[in-house]
Amino acid sequence: MSLVIGNLKLRNNKKYMKASFRYKGIHSCEAVVLSCIDFRFWKETVEFVEKELGIKTFDFPSLPGSAKAINESDDETFVFGCISVPVELHHAQKIVIINHEDCGAYGGSKKFGEDKEAERKFHEGELQKAKEKVLVKYPDKEIVSVYAKLDENKENVEFIRIN
């Protein structure tokens, strides 16, 4: 027996949620968005991708350091699998790579002596290296590089597109 209250359901005294599936019959997306695993940034990242980049359908794999994983991984099969599956299976035309301030995979902001400018420039270089590496495998795809930084009060995330 089931009891339904909004989206929350009780079946045999166990809670579960049922949500509508908006992609029936759709098996392609606009982009693959590779981001860091850091929980502090993912909600804002999704909002940025949807609102500012205008991308509504995307696969969203996460790897520690994002660009670091591309640049330094010993297992390119795994790292590029996070990109190739969306590109080949879901026909993604854009590849978005997002790094962020205070990334633990790089040693955090402490590694830069709290010098935000040095940290930003470092990540720009990392994103550029990752973009070049991805373009070798996917020369026909648009690569978008983004750096997410915290504002002065560390209350908001600012996303900066890197050329």
Segment 18-55, tens digit of pLDDT = 778 888 888 899 999 999 999 999 999 999 999 999 99
Q: Is residue 3 part of a domain?
A: no
Residue 120 sits in a domain whose CATH number is 3.40.1050.10
Which pLDDT score is estimated for 4?
Answer: 56
Q: Is residue 45 part of a domain?
A: yes
Which pLDDT score is estimated for 19?
Answer: 79
Q: Which domain holds residue 101?
A: 23-162
Q: Which residue is listed with tokens 């029936």?
A: 24
Q: Is residue 68 part of a domain?
A: yes
Full 3-state SS string of 118-153: HHHHHHHHHHHHHHHHHHHHCCCCEEEEEEEEECCC
Q: Is residue 14 part of a domain?
A: no
- Angstrom CA distances, 158 to 18, 28, 46, 50, 162, stand at 34, 29, 13, 15, 13
Which pLDDT score is estimated for 67?
Answer: 97
Q: Is residue 99 part of a domain?
A: yes
Q: Are 47 and 88 in contact (CB under 8 A)?
A: no
Token pair belonging to 163: 């050329």
**pTM (2 d.p.):** 0.87
Query: Does residue 1 or residue 40 have the better pLDDT?
Result: 40
Please check the confidence at residue 145 and state whether its pLDDT lies above 80: yes
- For the chain, how many structural domains are there in total? 1
